Structures are given as C-alpha cells and as structure tokens.
C-alpha cells in the first residue's frame, strides 16, 4: 500500500455561483404530524433543498465516512468557488474534522441568487485546487525529512472532486483544459520551490448536478487519461438523494472500501420493552476486512446486491455475547468502520452498544450450513473496529507443550513473584514530552527498558535458588532497592529490614532455606543465615551504583551482617591473586593515585565474594554431606575493619576493640610491610621466591594486597601450606 | 483430459492452489516444492501451452500463478543444468517463478544424476528455506535462547517510500507488560511459537543440522528440561496474570508475547508481530511514548488495580460518537424536527433539551445553507404556540415565540443571529426561575 497515493489529498471544489441556489426539486416533508393531535390542522408545506445544500451535505457525508475510517493521513481541502475561490481549511491535521468544515461552510452561507452570474465561476476554485495540491502536507514533509537524500520517493498525487452545474459537454472540456493548463504552470513553479511539490498524478472527478426532472446537458464519461499527469471522469447526477448516493459510491471507490451488513441484531422495542426485533446495520470499512472472501472467491457468503450501492455487501450474523471474559483472539486485521446510515436508530443502537465497551463476534454463514466466527466488532477508546479473526486452519496445530521443552521439568518457578514483577513493569502512555537533565528528549520506552534492567539485576528464577525472596521480612528492602533513587524513608526502611534480620538471627528464627534435593536436614542454622546474608548482599550490591543512598544501605548491611571470618579468608585467598592487579588499578582510577582508599577496593572485593559465596551456597545445598574445609578457626580480620557505629551483628567485644585500635593506628602511620604481611607476627622472608610472578607484590603493595597465605592469621603452618596450593590452583 | 497420467503442471498448480486455500486460507505463507524431471509435457496441458495461453484466460480458469497466498515456489529439477539448457525447459520454469512475482527459486543437480547429488540438491533447499530462526529473548538480565517458528517473514511497509523489507532482530527485547484486556485482540501480521532451546558448549544449538543419535538427544533434552529457563517462567506468569509482554523486534517494530493454550493441558509461549511503525495500535498510542508506571505521578492502574490508562482516546470523536447531523434521507431530518417538537410540548420542563436540539438543527441548517428549514421550523413553533392547551405553563408560550423569532432572524443568513457559533439561549422570563430542568 502506498501512503502517498491519490487518496492522500482530496480537494473538494463546490460551485457557489447563483444557479446553485436553485431548488433541487425534491421535496422534504418535515412537518410530520403526530396522530390524535392533527385534527383540523394542515401540515406545513414541504420544503426542498437547493443544489448547493445537496452538494454540501453530500460532500460532508463523503468526508464523514472518510474521517471515520481514515482519521489520519487522508486529508481534505475544501474550496468554494464564486467570484473568487474561498479555501475553507488547510492540509494540517487540526483542520481535518467535520466541525471545522461545517463552521467554515456556515460562514460562506448559501449562494446569493441575485449575484452577477457573469463574474462567478467554478474555475476560480479549480485553479485554487491545483495550487493547494502543490502544497506540501505535514505527512509529506515528515516523510521527506526522514528520507533525507531519498526525499524524492515521497509522491505528490491528489484528487479534485468538483461539484458544479455545467452548461454542456464543451463547458466540461473547458474545465478540464483549464485544470491541465494550471497543473502545467504550477508544476513549473513548484520545481523551483522548496515548500511546494510538483503534482505527479491528479484525478479530476467532475460531477455535474442538476434539478430532478430536468434533462442533463452533460453526458457521463468514464475515466480518461488527458495527460500523463491528469485523468478525468465526468458524472452527470440528479441532485437530492441521487447526488448523495453518487458520492457514497465514490468514497468507497476512492478509499477501497467495502460494505458489511450485520444482520440479526436483537434490539428492544421502545414501546414494548419485553419484545425485541432483529435489525440489520450496514457498515463501511476498508475492503481488506473481506480479504478472505475476496481471495477464496467465496462469494456465496450471503452476499446480496443492495439498491443504490455499487458493490455487494457481505452479510455477517450477530452472535449475542454470552460472557464478558477477556480473550486474546488471533486477529489478522482491524479496520475502522463507519455506519452507512449513522443516525438511524439501529445504527446508533449498535454503535452505542459497542462504545460502551462490549465486543461482538460475527458469524459467517456458509453454504454448507456450518458456522464460522470470522469477524469481531469492538471499540477501542471511542473508535469502532472490525477485527478479522482467523478462521482457517492453524499451521501451529498441536505444538509440543512448553512443559516438554527446555526448563519444562522444573517445578518451582517463581511464577507469582514474576507476575508481581510484570505488574510493576506495566507500561503507560506519556504523552507530554519529558526531558533529561542534559535537555535531550527522554524516550519513555527507553526508561521502561532501563527499569527492566534494574529490576532484573538479581532475580533468581526458581524458589529453591533463593532465600531472601521467600522471606516476608526482606520485602520492604527488596521492593525499594531496585529503584533508581531512594528517599530517606526508603533508606530507613531498608535499614529497619536489616536490623530486623539481625534480630531474627539473634533469636535464631528458622529461615525458608530450600531443602530440595538435599539429604538430611539441610544446612545448619548459622549456615542458613550466612547464605541469606550473602544473597542479600548480592542483591544490594547489584544496585549500589544507583545512588549514594543505595550505598548507605549497603554500608548498613555490611556493618550488620554476620560473617564467619574463616569463610571470608578462604574465599579471599582463592580470589585475590586473580583480581589483584585489576582492582588496584581500579582503585587508583576511582580515587586518585595520591589517596588510595582501601574501602572501595574492599567493597568490590566483597561483591565478588558475594557471588562466589552464593555459588558456594548452592554447592553446599546440593551436597550437604561434603565436609567443611578444615581451616575452621575464627580469624581476626586486620585489614577489613567493619563500620563500628553500625555493627550489630554477632561480633565479639575483643574483635570490635582490636578492629577499632587497628583502624585508629593504621591512620597514623604507614604500616611496616613486614608486619602487614606477617603471620603470627612472623614475616616470611624471600617470599618472592614462591611467586610465579615477582611483579605482583611490587605492584600491589599495601595492606589489601598481601599474598593470601601471608595474611595475619592464627592458623597453623599446615593450613598455610594447603592454602598455598589453593592459591596457586585458583591462579591457574 | 482429466487423466492424471501425463505431465500437466498447470493442473498440479491449480490443485495446490485449491488445497492450500481450503486448508489454510489466504493469509498463511506456504512453500510449494515442485519436483520435476524437467520435462514439461506435450500438447494441450503442457507447460509451454499453459504459458502461451496464459494471457487469454477468463477469471474462472485463471492461471494459478501468482498463488493467491504468500508463497515461495521451489522447483527441484531432477536434471542438470546442461540438459535443461538444451531445450527451453529452464526458460519455462523461470517464467513460473517470474509469474509468482519472483518468489521462489529453481534448483538443478550438479553433476550426473545419482542419489548423492539429489540429496545435495535437497540439502540446499533445506538450507535456504527451512533454516530455523534462532534468537535471544531478553528481559533485562533475564535471557533465554529461543527458536522462533515459523520463521518470521520480511515485511515491506510502503513499497514506494521504503522498499527495503524489514527483518526482525535476533535479539528480542521485552520492554514492558500490558494486560490482555488493554491490548485487546490486536491485529497481527503473523504469529510464531517461541521455543526455548539448549545450547551446547560451543554455543551451537543442540539439534541443528543433521540430527544426532536419538538417545543422545533425548538425554540432552532431559538435562535441558531440568535447567530453569526464562521462557517457562515468563510463560507461566503471563498465563496466570492474563498479560502480554511487549517485545521490540527492531527499530519501530514491536510484537507481543503471550501464553497460548492449545488445550487444557498444553500451552505455549507465542509471539505475534505487529505491523512495523511508530504506532501499530491506535489504542496504545505511540510505542515510544510508553513508559514505566513508576515514572507516573500516580499509578495509572490505580492502587487497587481497578483502572487502566488504556485505551487512549483519540483527539477527535468519530461521527457515530458525536451526534452528527445527517439529513440525506428525509427520515434523518424528520427525526430531528420531531425531537424539537416533542420537547416543545413539554416546556418548560424540557427547556434545556429543547434549546439543545434547536441549536443543533440551527447549526446544521446554517452549514448546509438550508435556510428554508429554519423558516419552516419557526413557522412550526409558532403554530405550536397557538395550539398550547389552556393548562400549559405560561413560560411555554414565551419560549416558543422567542425560539421562532430567533430562528427567523438566523434564516436571513446575514445578521449576527446567523453566526455559526451563536447559540439561541432560553428567554429569561418571570417564570423561568421555576422552570427547573429535568433531563
């Protein structure tokens, strides 16, 4: 389908010369007297519309149908012609509605029958029509801007519908010649202009209308090519109803419309509320809604020729909706509709029913007598659409169930939690533009993706993979930590959550640690808490870079959480050598070379460790019987002083004290390297001999980067040897 | 000759055409594989004859190409190129592809006719037409390797402006979620199964190419079944919550993921593709303007999940939703006049409705230049005034006279009373204070 086909631009040129004030000579009874009040009263004489009134109301009906079905990208420019051309609106989208056109027409009023016919002509309007076709529309402009160097792909075609009362066939030819000449001239002008476009194709539809009962002085002529740019057709139509019917036929041709008649619509009778009668309502819509009938040539589907309409209408049967259940139908197309007879009672009954939010399935009667639901009528935000439902066989018949595929045999997915996650990540329209701090336009959809990224940084998929998400007590923290920024209140709630967990640990409350796949009772209580704290740390760490307040939550967590130090040791030994250089580098980058802060370095380390611990937690869960590592003695950590103020976890008074003293002392002087690297206050000499890479130590001097097995530790020498191997192993 | 003992490609193609349409309708893409020895038949019904008479057909015996459904025609010739080129067979077969709008391809055998070379020819067809579409489904950091079946077809939005067919990304990125009620059976280009796949160590998909030993595959599948997969989680939650996931398929191209139940027990993760463009569904608005609810001042779904920001209301109402005036049929005009008359008889109770209807008629008459109607209705109202019963409220007479007078002023078409935006307002009388409106 081409966006910029002839139907992108339609110009109406309606003759406003004195002769259009003539009556169409078709009477309308407007004084319908109601029975039992009519005795002795003579109804008022019927009135008749002028040729002008007939022309205007028929063209308004054309526009009504067009705007209903194509509210965008199909534009109308309305021109009235008498002693000059009156252009009633522009191509802008705001001007494209019936109210605007009606108001503009009212200012023009009916033609003045006493005006001088000599100086009035429809030619003024036709010239203006060509001029207006050269003007670029918003859509053309947008497409050209978007296509840049391919801007010439944007077409400029249009249609002029001229309603006039011509004098003869030669008069019609004169009008055609005039249009052709004007196009020629204006295309020359447009060639040298940036805001005008040359007309590539113009369809001239000349409608000669005359009072009923008169003979036509103009003969019909089918579409004929007058030049490569211009085609013309002539319709000679009696005024009144006939003119309206002609324009209805034309709007269907011009915009590829088709007609569907909904049959068997049950409606309550006004007078007798208990009875209902069945009505039919005819709707117009894009013909693609009938694509299945057209393709398969299934014309026996209840098609019937209707008086006055140029095409067949497809009859579909109303299926009274039984439930209001929300279903996702397989719909291959949805097309806006317009009722043919918009104000008739059956039409407005149907449209109001739909506008109130009900959907109706439509059944296609088949020759064989079998029933097939082929369409659905449904409104979305005050617009009614005819949905085409797929009624042919699906190629995805009998697919394997999702439970038979990858991950299909896992039974403890966090379905409910992910449901909650989906609700939190629902979308909503943001119609007003928003701007980022750097004044660039913010795209809401990108914000949605950012949020998904944040919300999924740590999101275990199955229940047995997580402890914290199975704990009600963690919810206040877990629900806010994923946010981009936290309020003071959020931080407070997170802290409360952590204190609460500390309290639980102190009371030795049980934790919902999964025992799936484990033999025996599963991990011990303190092990359970360790797993829980590690997981919580992983969650918080995943968001620590969001804001300074997130950082505060982490600090609180780190200060409060219990850590069996030997666990830390063991991990660190394994990890440290790998990360050392990397981290030292980062620390320098982040805090400047002159002031290396061990803190941030440490945080990174713990993040890593958190992950490892988590991985380990799974290992432990899977094989609870595997022996604990032998080096189980508590270690005093000299290089990682926790935050004193907030420490609430199970820490001995001694360790608190020594930590504090050590921290205080370490600030006062540069620690002697030998003491830093000492074991039981004994420093190993020539340690570089054992290093595979002698550079390491030199590069990473400082308390944090000591060689793992030379840590200040009370562990016996035997253990040291073991961990050396560990250290090496992990380095490989 | 309806005997099926001679080469008659046209009848075969007609047969294919009918079968496909009966079975699948006209919207589902179909690959038609024609296996031939390269001989086109002789005399009437031969392909040469069919092609020669192709332009002299009536609608009832139309040549079956192009197929009336999206299609690819693959011609598998059991002959090598030289053999085919010695006659005009190849030309005729190429005409077939051309007639199918260029959709399709001809395959010939490389080398002598033997089993191996035939297999290799079909191998090429498989590679071309039956390669599975692999993608990665992403939702933030949650990901899954998937196969999308059937292969999504490239799509041309507008052959004039943007003739390059759009293809979907192999990264399918979820951007957010919407309730099924809000997405509301949207029109889609096509729908596809989204099947999670397992990757082996090298990063190749298990089961691609030539199938391995069945036992191996089964055990691999069993292991894969036990590894948690994001697709299964997503599917389960979409099903339980009655929601769809909006997925980005490319620049300005989106689709939706949802759970599709085949039966009570079996259900699957499906993906439907919307038409490419910035605004595929008018009731959702522009896709780029959809953002997370947390950015909104208050939750647009309400605290109790009792409302929704969808559907979006269009700026202008459609004719059927705005009480337009259409007088093309006399009945339309008569109904509108009757409404005024009915309300006129219930004055002063119906004062507001009376004037509302009167003004509606007045506006339309002015726009259509139908001033005679204004005079006529004025006359009618004056007559009504004379017909008022003695029991009538005195205000009624005043209002009818006033309204008639105003219409007459408007019917001159020139005075300020004929301005479109001017409204006839009820006359303020000594009685009007008591005439409360009961609409």
Flag whether pLDDT at A545 surpasses 70: yes
Question: Is A137 within 8 Å of A8 (Cβ atoms)?
Answer: yes
Dihedral sign for Cα atoms in the order A75, A77, A78, A81: negative
Are the C-beta atoms of A462 and A410 separated by less than 8 Å?
Answer: yes
* Range A601-613 average pLDDT: 48
CA geometry: angle at A525 spanning A521 and A530, to 5°?
A: 120
What number of CA atoms fall less than 13 Å from residue B368's CA on the CB side? 30
Of B21, B246, B368, the CB nearest to A56: B368
- Pinpoint the alpha helices (H) of A388-487: 415-424, 444-455, 475-481
Work out the burial of residue A206: count CB atoms within 10 Å of its CB; fewer than 13 is exposed, 13-18 middle, 19 or more buried: buried
- What pLDDT shows up at residue A627? 39
Residues 22-41 of B with CB under 8 A from A: 23-28
The per-residue pLDDT for range B236-292, each reduced to its tens digit, is 999 999 999 999 999 999 999 999 987 777 899 999 999 999 999 999 999 999 999
User: Within 10 Å of residue A142's Cβ, how many Cβ atoms?
Assistant: 12
Percent of chain A topping pLDDT 90: 49
What is residue A516's predicted lDDT score, i.e. its pLDDT? 54
Q: Which residues of A touch B372 (CB under 8 A)?
A: 47-48
User: Which residues of B fall within a CB distance of 8 Å from A445?
Assistant: 175-176, 248, 287-291
Other beta carbons within 10 angstroms of residue B403's beta carbon come to: 27
Q: Is A57 on the interface with B (CB under 8 A)?
A: yes
Q: For residue A54, what pLDDT band results from cuts at 50, 70 and 90?
A: very high
Contact B293 A455 (CB under 8 A): no
Alpha carbon of B35 to those of A567, B38, B68, B125: distances in Å?
Answer: 69, 9, 21, 12
Of B290, B331, B338, the CB nearest to A448: B290
Q: Are A684 and A708 contacting, i.e. CB atoms less than 8 angstroms apart?
A: no
pLDDT tens for residues B170-206? 999 999 999 999 999 999 999 999 999 987 645 555 5
Angle between helices A565-591 and A717-731 (to 10 degrees): 50
Burial pattern A150-178, b for ≥16 Cβ within 10 A else e, equals eeeebbbbbbbbbbbbbeeeebbeebbeb
Size of interface A-B (CB pairs under 8 A): 422
Is the pLDDT at A7 greater than 70, yes or no? yes
pLDDT at A363: 92
Q: Is A110 exposed, middle or buried (CB count within 10 Å of its CB: 0-12, 13-18, 19+)?
A: buried
pLDDT at A619: 38
Find the closest chain A residue to B272 by CA distance: A330
pLDDT, one tens digit per residue, over A300-334 is 334 444 444 445 789 999 988 776 667 889 999 99
pLDDT at B194: 94
Asked whether the beta carbons of residue B324 and residue A329 sit closer than 8 angstroms, the reply is no
Residue A269's pLDDT is: 74
pLDDT at A435 over 70: yes
Could you give the CA distance from residue B221 to residue B197 in angstroms, rounded to a whole number?
9
A33 shares contact with chain B (CB less than 8 Å): no
Q: Chain B contact for A73, CB < 8 A? A: no
Contact between residue B281 and residue B314 where contact means Cβ atoms under 8 Å apart: no
Phi, psi at B311, each rounded to 5°: -75, 155
B400, pLDDT greater than 80:
yes
Nearest CA in chain B to A453: B140
Strands A276-286 and A257-268: antiparallel
Residue A151 pLDDT grade (very low, low, confident, very high; cuts 50, 70, 90): confident
Q: Which residues of B touch A244 (CB under 8 A)?
A: 328
Residue B104 has pLDDT above 50, yes or no: yes
Least CB–CB distance from A453: residue in B140, B268, B293: B140
Chain A within 8 Å of B153 (Cβ-Cβ)? no
Residues 344-363 of A with CB under 8 A from B: 344, 347-348, 351, 355, 359
CATH of domain B133-157+166-208+216-295: 2.40.290
User: Which of the residue ranges A291-300, A343-352, B290-299 would you say has the lowest mean pLDDT?
Assistant: A291-300
Mean per-residue pLDDT for A400-409? 88
Between residues 460 and 519 of chain A, which touch chain B (CB distance below 8 Å)?
Answer: 461-462, 465, 483
Average pLDDT over every residue of A540-550? 93
Q: Are B142 and A456 an interchain contact pair (Cβ–Cβ within 8 Å)?
A: yes
Q: Is the pLDDT of residue A728 over 60?
A: no
- Residue B71's pLDDT is 87
pLDDT reported for residue A296: 52
Contact A392 B234 (CB under 8 A): no
Is the alpha carbon torsion for A400, A401, A406, A408 positive or negative? negative
Half-sphere exposure of A291 (CA within 13 A, CB side): 22
Q: Does residue A425 have a pLDDT over 90?
A: yes
Pick the residue from chain A with its C-alpha nearest to B241: A419
Please state the rounded mean pLDDT for residues B347-374.
Answer: 93
For residue A32, pLDDT over 90 is answered with: no
Contacts of B382 in chain A (CB under 8 A): none
- CA B127, B132, B133, B137 dihedral sign is negative
Q: Report yes or no: A562 at the B interface, CB cutoff 8 Å.
A: no
Judge: A418–B328 Cβ closer than 8 Å, yes or no.
Answer: no
Within 8 A of A462 by CB-CB distance, chain B residues are 228
- Contact flag B27-A355 (C-beta cutoff 8 Å): no
Average pLDDT across chain A, whole number: 79
Please state the rounded mean pLDDT for residues A173-193. 95
Task: Give percent above pLDDT 70 in chain A.
Answer: 71
Query: At B51, is the pLDDT very low, low, confident or very high (cuts 50, 70, 90)?
Result: confident
pLDDT score at A633:
39
Nearby residues of A714 by Cβ (< 8 Å), 6 or more positions away: A633, A635, A636, A680
What is the pLDDT at residue A721? 39
Residue A303 has what pLDDT?
A: 40
pLDDT at B212 over 50: no
The DSSP-derived string for A472-493 is GGGHHHHHHHTSSS--HHHHHH
Contact: A333, B242; criterion CB under 8 Å: no
B303-315 pLDDT, tens digit per residue, is 888 899 999 998 8
pLDDT of residue B238: 95
**pLDDT for position A700:** 40
Interchain proximity A427–B237, CB inside 8 Å: no
Per-residue pLDDT, averaged over B204-231, amounts to 64
What DSSP line would sit under A576-622, residue for residue? Answer: HHHHHHHHHHHHHHHH-TTS--HHHHHHHHHHHHHHHHHHHHHHHHH
Asked if B424 reaches chain A (Cβ–Cβ under 8 Å), the answer is no
Peptide bond into B66 cis (omega under 30): yes
CB contacts, 8 Å: B156 with chain A: none
* Subunit contact B232:A331, Cβ cutoff 8 A: no
Per-residue model confidence (pLDDT) at position A704: 42
Short-list B285, B284, B230, B280, CA closest to B254? B280
With bands split at pLDDT 50, 70 and 90, how would you rate the model's confidence at A614? Answer: very low
Q: What digits encode the pLDDT tens for the residues A251-304?
A: 999 999 999 999 999 888 776 667 788 899 999 999 999 877 765 554 433 444
Look up residue B86 and give its two tokens: 């010695």
Above 60 in pLDDT, residue A418? yes
Q: How far apart are CA A604 and CA A622, in angstroms?
A: 28
Other CB atoms closer than 10 Å to residue A256's CB: what's the count? 14
Q: Which of A578-582, B117-121, B243-247 has the lowest mean pLDDT?
A: A578-582
Sequence-distant (6+) residues with CB within 8 A of B98 are none
Residues facing residue A75 across a β-bridge: A9
């Amino acid at each position: 389908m081409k966006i910029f086909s002839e139907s992108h631009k339609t110009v109406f040129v309606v003759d406003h010369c004195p002769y259009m004030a003539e009556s169409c000579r078709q009477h309308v009874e407007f004084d319908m007297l109601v029975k039992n009040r009519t005795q002795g009263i003579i109804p008022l004489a019927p009135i008749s519309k002028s040729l002008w009134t007939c022309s205007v109301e028929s063209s308004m009906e054309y526009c009504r149908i067009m705007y209903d079905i194509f509210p965008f990208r199909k534009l109308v420019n309305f021109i009235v012609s008498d002693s000059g051309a009156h252009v009633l609106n522009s191509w802008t989208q705001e001007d494209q509605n019936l109210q605007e056109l009606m108001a503009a027409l009212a200012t023009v009023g009916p033609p003045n029958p006493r005006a001088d016919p000599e100086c009035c002509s429809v030619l003024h309007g036709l010239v203006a029509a060509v001029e207006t076709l050269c003007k670029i529309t918003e859509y053309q402009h947008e497409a050209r801007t978007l296509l840049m160097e391919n801007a010439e792909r944007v077409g400029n075609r249009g249609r002029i519908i001229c309603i006039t009362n011509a004098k003869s066939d030669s008069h019609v030819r004169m009008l055609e010649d005039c249009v052709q000449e004007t196009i020629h001239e204006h295309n020359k002008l447009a060639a040298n202009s940036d805001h005008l476009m040359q007309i590539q194709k113009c369809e001239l539809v000349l409608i000669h209308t005359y009072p009923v009962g008169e003979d036509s002085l103009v003969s019909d002529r089918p579409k004929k090519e007058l030049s490569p740019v211009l085609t013309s057709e002539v319709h000679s139509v009696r005024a009144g109803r006939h003119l309206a019917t002609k324009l209805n036929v034309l709007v269907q041709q011009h915009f590829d419309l088709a007609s569907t008649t909904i049959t068997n619509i049950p409606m309550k009778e006004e007078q007798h509320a208990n009875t209902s009668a069945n009505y039919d309502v005819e709707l117009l819509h894009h013909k693609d809604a009938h694509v299945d009938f057209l393709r398969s040539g299934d014309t026996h589907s209840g098609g019937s020729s209707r008086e006055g309409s140029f095409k067949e209408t497809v009859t579909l049967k109303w299926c009274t909706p039984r439930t209001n259940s929300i279903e996702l139908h397989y719909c291959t197309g949805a097309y806006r509709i317009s009722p043919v007879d918009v104000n008739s009672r059956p039409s407005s009954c149907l449209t109001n029913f739909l506008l109130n939010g009900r959907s109706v399935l439509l059944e296609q009667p088949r020759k064989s007598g079998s029933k097939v639901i082929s369409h659905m009528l449904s409104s979305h935000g005050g617009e009614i659409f005819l949905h085409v439902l797929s009624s042919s066989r699906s190629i995805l018949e009998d697919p394997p169930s999702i439970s038979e595929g990858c991950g299909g045999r896992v039974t403890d997915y966090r379905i409910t939690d992910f449901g909650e996650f989906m609700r939190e990540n629902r979308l909503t329209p943001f119609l007003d533009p928003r701007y980022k701090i750097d004044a660039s336009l913010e795209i809401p959809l990108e914000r949605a993706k950012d949020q998904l990224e944040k919300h999924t940084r740590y999101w275990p998929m199955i229940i047995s993979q997580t402890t914290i998400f199975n704990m009600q007590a963690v919810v206040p923290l877990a629900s806010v930590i994923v946010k981009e920024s936290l309020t003071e209140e959020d931080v407070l709630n997170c802290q409360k959550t952590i204190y609460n967990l500390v309290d639980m640990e102190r009371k030795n409350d049980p934790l919902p640690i999964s025992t799936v796949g484990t033999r025996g009772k599963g991990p011990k209580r303190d092990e359970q808490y360790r797993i829980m704290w590690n997981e919580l740390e992983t969650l918080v760490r995943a968001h620590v870079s969001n804001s300074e307040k997130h950082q505060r939550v982490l600090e609180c967590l780190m200060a409060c959480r219990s850590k069996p130090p030997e666990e830390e040791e063991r991990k660190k030994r394994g990890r440290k050598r790998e990360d050392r250089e990397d981290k030292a580098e980062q620390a320098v980058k982040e805090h400047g070379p002159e002031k290396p802060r061990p803190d941030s370095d440490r945080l990174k380390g713990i993040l890593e460790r958190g992950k490892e611990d988590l991985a380990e937690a799974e290992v432990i869960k899977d094989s609870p019987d595997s022996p604990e590592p032998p080096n189980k003695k508590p270690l005093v950590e000299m290089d990682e002083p926790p935050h004193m103020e907030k420490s609430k976890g199970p820490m001995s008074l001694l360790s608190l004290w020594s930590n504090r003293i050590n921290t205080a002392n370490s600030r006062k002087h540069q620690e002697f390297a030998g003491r830093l690297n000492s074991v039981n206050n004994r420093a190993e000499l020539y340690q570089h001999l054992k290093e595979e890479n002698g550079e390491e130590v030199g590069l990473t001097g400082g308390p944090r980067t000591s060689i793992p097995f030379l840590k200040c530790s009370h562990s016996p020498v035997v253990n040291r040897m073991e961990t050396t191997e560990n250290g090496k192993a992990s380095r490989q | 000759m309806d005997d099926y003992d001679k080469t008659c490609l046209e009848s075969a193609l007609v047969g294919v055409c009918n079968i496909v349409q009966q079975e699948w309708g006209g919207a589902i893409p179909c690959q038609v594989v024609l296996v031939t020895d390269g001989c086109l038949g002789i005399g009437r019904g031969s392909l040469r004859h069919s092609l020669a008479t192709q332009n002299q057909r009536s609608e009832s015996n139309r040549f079956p190409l192009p197929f009336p459904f999206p299609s690819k025609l693959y011609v598998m010739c059991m002959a090598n190129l030289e053999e085919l080129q010695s006659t005009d067979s190849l030309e005729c077969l190429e005409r077939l592809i051309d007639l199918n709008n260029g959709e399709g391809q001809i395959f010939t055998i490389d080398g002598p006719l033997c089993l191996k070379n035939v297999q290799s020819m079909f191998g090429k067809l498989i590679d071309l037409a039956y390669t599975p579409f692999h993608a990665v489904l992403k939702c933030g950091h949650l990901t899954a390797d998937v196969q999308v079946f059937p292969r999504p077809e490239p799509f041309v939005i507008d052959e004039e402006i943007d003739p390059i067919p759009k293809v979907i990304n192999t990264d399918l990125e979820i951007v957010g979620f919407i309730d099924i009620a809000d997405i509301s059976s949207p029109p889609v280009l096509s729908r596809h199964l989204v099947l999670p796949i397992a990757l082996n160590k090298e990063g190749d998909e298990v089961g691609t190419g030539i199938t391995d030993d069945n036992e191996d595959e089964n055990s691999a599948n069993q292991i894969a079944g036990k590894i948690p997969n994001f697709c299964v989680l997503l599917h389960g939650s979409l099903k339980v919550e009655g929601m769809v996931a909006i997925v980005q398929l490319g620049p300005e191209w989106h689709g939706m993921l949802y759970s599709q139940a085949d039966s009570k027990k079996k259900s699957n993760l499906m993906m439907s593709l919307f038409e490419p463009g910035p605004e595929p569904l008018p009731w959702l608005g522009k896709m780029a303007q959809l953002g997370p609810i947390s950015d909104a001042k208050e939750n647009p779904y309400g605290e109790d999940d009792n409302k929704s920001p969808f559907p979006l209301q269009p700026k202008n109402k459609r004719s059927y939703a705005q009480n337009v005036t259409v007088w093309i049929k006399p009945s339309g005009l008569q109904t509108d006049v009757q409404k005024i008359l009915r309300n006129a008889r219930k004055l002063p109770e119906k004062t507001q409705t009376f004037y509302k209807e009167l003004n509606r008629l007045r506006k339309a008459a002015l726009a259509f230049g139908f001033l005679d109607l204004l005079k006529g209705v004025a006359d009618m109202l004056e007559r009504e005034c004379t017909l008022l019963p003695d029991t009538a409220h005195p205000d009624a007479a005043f209002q009818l006279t006033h309204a008639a007078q105003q219409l007459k002023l408007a019917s001159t078409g020139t005075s300020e009373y004929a301005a479109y935006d001017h409204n006839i307002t009820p006359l303020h009388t000594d009685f009007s204070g008591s005439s409360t409106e009961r609409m």
